[in-house]
Amino acid sequence: MAQDIILRKKIAGKKANIAVVGLGYVGLPLAVSFAEKGFLVHGLDNDADRVSKLKNKTSYILDIPSSRIAQVVNKNRFIASTQFESLKSADVIIICVPTPIKRRYTPDISYIVSAVKTVQKFLKKGTLVVLESTTYPGTTEELILPELEKSGLKAEKDFFLSFSPERIDPGNKHYDVTRIPKVVGGISPTSGELTKLL
CA-CA-CA-CA torsion sign (109, 115, 120, 125): negative
* Predicted pLDDT at 86: 94
Mean pLDDT, the chain, whole residue set: 93
**Ranges 47-61, 132-146, 174-188, most confident:** 47-61
Share of the chain above pLDDT 90, in %: 80
* DSSP state letters, 18-73: EEEE--STTHHHHHHHHHHTT-EEEEE-S-HHHHHHHHTT---STTS-HHHHHHHH
Q: Which whole-number Å values give the CA distances from 76 to 46, 61, 70, 85, 90, in the listed order?
A: 21, 20, 10, 18, 16
* For residues 16-26, average pLDDT: 96
pLDDT at 90 over 90: yes
pLDDT digits (tens, 9 = 90+) for 146-191: 999 999 999 999 999 999 987 666 666 666 667 778 889 999 999 9
Lowest mean pLDDT among 13-17, 62-66, 75-79, 121-125: 62-66
Give the per-residue pLDDT at 176: 65
Per-residue pLDDT of 106-120, as tens digits, reads: 888 999 999 999 999
Average the pLDDT over 120-140 and give the result.
94
Confidence (pLDDT) at 175: 67
59 versus 99: the higher-pLDDT residue is 59
pLDDT of residue 134: 86
- pLDDT over 70 at 67, yes or no: yes
Average pLDDT over residues 125-135: 95
* DSSP per residue, 123-172: --TTEEEEE-S---TTIIIIIIHHHHHTTS--BTTTEEEEE------TT-
* pLDDT at 171 (0 to 100): 63
Would the pLDDT of 101 be above 90?
A: no
For residue 30, pLDDT beyond 90:
yes
Q: Give the pLDDT mean for 46-69.
A: 95
